[in-house]
Structure 1
Amino acid sequence: MAEDEAQLSPPESLLQLIDNLARFHREHEEYYAQAPLRQAGELQARSRALKALADRWSVIGASEQAPPIVFAGAEDLNAPGLVAESGILFMEGEGEPPELQRLRREVGLLADDLEQTGAWLAGAMEQAWEMAGGLAAYPALADLLGERHRIIADDWQSAGLQALVARLLRRALDLLARVDFAPAALRADLSSDRTAPSYLYSASELLDRAADLMTESAMLVHDNERRWRVFRARARELRST
């Protein structure tokens, strides 16, 4: 009888590994169930800033004469309320506002981070999938195989979303690169084809979709929390017996 039970249960070394993975990966995923929500909120704030500028530039007429005082605020280019919210301030005699440069730089850094994290996670899930298949040899874990594979599927899907978000962010930056944000160039555009608002609207829409997908990624990872607890509890139960 004892021999039959030993055949049903995984070896102690495997149970230790399951306990370790369930503990540390659950904690790791607790972070990734929260961080994307914060990043999504930051993306939405950047998108709102772009929309506010696009709204302003869609209806305002360009000033024909700029104030002679350098560093004076550009009355026609600044969107109402946006300076206090985002710090983006167009000034006479200046080029692209540094806050707008920072916005673009931060979006680029986020795209790099998400691409790297998504690639790492996809590779890790490839290995985890193979390892999970080996657990089928142990009947004592048979009822948890669905839980383990669901964890992997959720994380794999999250990895794909992160890669897609990185693409959306980079395309948004490509669109913003089409706009010359120097006041003189903007006024020239507003006096002719007025294409700058269109590029900003499209870029903001890509940021909005990226934020939505990041929220979905967080939800997928958060869905694993109970599954990890159940998986670890079974490993500890088998170790104790």
Structure 2
Amino acid sequence: MSEDETRRTPADPLLRVIDNLARFHREHEEYYSQAPLRQAAELQARSRALKSLADRWSEAEAGERTSAIGFAGAEDLNAPGLVAESGILFMEGEDEPAELRRLKREVGTIADDTEQGGAWLARAMEQAWEIAGSLAAYPALADLLGERHRIIADDWQSAGLQTLVARLLRRALDLLARVDFSPAALRADLEGEREAPRYLYAASELFDRAADLMAESAMLVHGNERRWRVFRARVRELRSEHG
């Protein structure tokens, strides 16, 4: 056995680890190149709902209670077409619509999940960075080390975007918490300063930016697909050469 072969043999288990990471993390990233796009589309739909209400409440005049019968729709508060699109229905004798409560609850869950995902990815990239440095011992991988580090850098950037998305969503929820969505309170606001529409516009804009960053995160991850494929093919070649 040559001196060069003796030097490389102890590192062979590392190649097995790298091959495993390249396989499963590529598959993992295939999922995360799509899932944020679906979430972004859903978030944009929630943003449109808030804007529709804000548009309505910026112009509508406060009306009288539509009916003494509970569950009747509030003519002055419901935005045209929004009930069918989102299910958000303001009813007489009721408090905040259940659909709005669900919207805020779901956005809070997205914020929690995104923050946790970003933190996990950042930790994973810390470890990946250290492992990638060890690959310099393999001259056959030298021309692909830039690609491997680009994967890590893009994933690290994606982790930061996820953390920012969570912050934006939580701040949007803070703004929505400033609005009393009961029909009586909203009518009082229509007759007064019309503060509710301003808070809704601001929250919707934060939703929009969060959705944009979700899409950007997905694009970063998606851009790694070919890098993973080429890198793993070279690793497998190197493993076969060294048994």
Would the TM-score normalized by the shorter structure come out above 0.5?
Answer: yes
Conservation of the 8 A alpha-carbon contact between 1:19 and 1:232: yes
Partners of 2:209 and 2:147 in 1: CA distance: 30
Which aligned pairs between 1:1-241 and structure 2 lie closer than 5 A? 2-4=2-4, 7=7, 11-241=11-241
Q: Give the number of aligned pairs.
A: 241
Partners of 2:112 and 2:50 in 1: CA distance: 21
TM-score normalised according to structure 2 size: 0.96
Conservation of the 8 A alpha-carbon contact between 1:9 and 1:138: no
Partners of 1:35 and 1:95 in 2: CA distance: 34
Conservation of the 8 A alpha-carbon contact between 2:155 and 2:220: yes
State the Cα distance separating 1:137 from its structure 2 match. 2.1
Superposed CA offset, 1:200-241 (max 9, x none): 000000000000000000000001111111111011111222
Partners of 2:31 and 2:10 in 1: CA distance: 30
Conservation of the 8 A alpha-carbon contact between 1:57 and 1:77: yes
State the Cα distance separating 1:66 from its structure 2 match. 3.7
Larger mean CA deviation between 49-58 and 2-11 belongs to: 2-11
State the Cα distance separating 1:17 from its structure 2 match. 1.0
Report % sequence identity: 81
Superposed CA offset, 1:158-181 (max 9, x none): 000000000000000000000000
Question: Residues 65 and 99 from structure 1, CA distance in 2 versus in 1: closer, same or farther, beyond 3 angstroms?
Answer: closer
Partners of 1:236 and 1:10 in 2: CA distance: 17
TM-align CA RMSD: 1.4
Q: Unaligned stretches of 5+ in structure 1? A: none
Q: Unaligned stretches of 5+ in structure 2? A: none
